[in-house]
Structure 1
Amino acid sequence: MPREPPIVLPVTLPLLGHANPWALLLAKEEGHSLSSASLLSERYALKSDEKPFVRELLSRKRNMWVFRCDQRRFAGDFVVVDMSEPRPARRWVVVLDLKLGAPLVLGGGGAGIQLTQAQQAVDALAARQGVIAPGTPYELATGDKAAILAFLRAGRHQRRPE
């Protein structure tokens, strides 16, 4: 039986230059065969405004690390970690789901079932040495590209919408 692919994969600017970066990651980092990796890569494909979103975020906020979520696992679109805090247990973690034309909503409202497995994605990051510590709290956020980018640019200590 083929093993389940990881719930999150790291996204980098150079990776976004490849036609199918997910197949490369699944083969190189996870040890899947190229044929299996190509089939599994559809789970991480970037749609609509997702690629411009992640490209802009990584270009403007070098302290942010972005992880793409497996779209079949209901863990959101991305997990974003602010790496500017040196202590992994205190890093700001946001699990987000992009919604075209939607305002920023914190706490997971507006995502339906798309964020029900967010904890699994965060736990998977905690298993990656040095990213975040087990039990690190996280925020849920939904909204369109502009709203989410503004939220992330403002940072952890901004005043939250009522």
Structure 2
Amino acid sequence: MSATFSTSPELRLRIAESRYPRLFFLALAGLQLANLLLLARAGVAPTAIAGLGLAQLLLFTAIARDYSRRRQRLPGLYWRQGQWWIQREGEGRQFIQPLHWHCLPWCTWLAWREEGGGREALWLFADSAPRDGLRRLRVRLTLQRAV
């Protein structure tokens, strides 16, 4: 065990559903509708507008499903003595290696490599975990970057 981690407290971050992605998807749908209405006012052919609308709807649905699938599979993120792991519903502990992260006051993005070589990413919004837990996560990631 490294001296860097010997006195650091353990991090147990339980992830809950956030309302921010729903607001984002609602705003995206509004922008898509506004875009289609502007195209109609500009005189674009109705078949082109219908095709573009269908393509936007499929993309929007794929993004929403992917986010929902990822969120449902990851209820916990943990760190102790230099080791990171995730706990998925119905599965055991899986060790990970964080690769990239960006921390903002309202959002934290974390990408990691799993033991088997796969890569995943997670968006943690301000309301998706306890405030103190998110603060400790940002501190831990900042300290890890310095090591």
TM over 0.5: no
- TM bucket (normalised to shorter chain) is under 0.3
- The TM-score normalised by the length of structure 1 is 0.25
Structure that is richer in helix per residue = 2
Higher Cα Rg, which structure: 2
Greater relative contact order (Cα < 8 A, sep 6+): 2
- The TM-score normalised by the length of structure 2 is 0.26
